[in-house]
Amino acid sequence: MNAALGFLNFVSRLLPDRKPSRLFVALDADWRPEFRVAAMPSYKSHRVAGPDDPPDPVDPQMRIIIELLDAFGITTVEAEGYEAEDVIATLAERMSGPREIVTGDRDLFALVKDPDVRVLFTLRGVSELAQVDEAWIRAKYAIPGDRYYDYAVLRGDPSDGLPGVHGIGEKTASFLVAKYGSLDGILSASDVSATIRAKLRASADYLAAARKVVWMARDAPVEGGDGTLPRVPAKPEHVVALGKRYGLEASVKRVTDALAAA
């Protein structure tokens, strides 16, 4: 129950700390969308379970988390054929005013936009969240604060099956994005060294595909609630029953108390 326990405790701390007016929990309707696989077949291919692989131990806990969120009345949102990151990007695009994205996924740094959209990046649970704005990105990666997407395409991400441009690591990617401002600027610049230009040319197919894979949809067909936070659980008896069933009574109470205080 570590995942469910950790999630509930996280929410119980997040609510009083951030006091959100609305809260959405984004879900993966498809963790490996066809449009990304079509662009790059290697996308998350190493995570696809084989016939002899054991079941993912997190899946049952995700079902418990979703069941508890429904009982609490906390909004979950998803979009058929899209990942949670696309749902978040679409909501961030649709909404106005200050928006905070709570995540442990650096890819979402690409959504940071001063002054209204920032990422609360989990460094050590909810007890330590980096407040990522454009200045934070500039200080961390030495690139313009609104150009993390270009940097991520160049650098790649092996954990997602994105190899990056062969021979261009984090430092060179930072240098290029800082000097030329964007991936398009790099590719069109006349003073890029012959060595770098050869590497970019050799990775032209990767770059074309990675742009589609790394880009987060801003128009995903998001379905779910409106983010309204309940002051009391929507189904209080069910919340208590679930807490007892899964041995999560203390964590369930903490979330209940946090909703009342929020």
Q: What does pTM read for this prediction?
A: 0.95
What is the rounded CA–CA span in Å between residue 169 and residue 115?
30
Residue 162 pLDDT: 96
Residue 54 pLDDT: 81
Over the chain (262 residues), the average pLDDT of each successive run of 10 is: 90 95 97 97 90 82 96 98 98 97 97 98 85 98 98 96 96 98 97 97 97 98 97 97 97 97 84
Domains of the chain: 2-141+221-261 (3.40.50.1010), 148-214 (1.10.150.20)
- What's the N-to-C CA distance of the chain in angstroms? 26
Residue 153 pLDDT: 98
Residue 1 pLDDT: 64
B/e letters for 124-149, b = 16+ CB within 10 Å, e = fewer, are eebeebeebbbebbeeebebbbbbbb
Strands 75-79 and 222-224: antiparallel
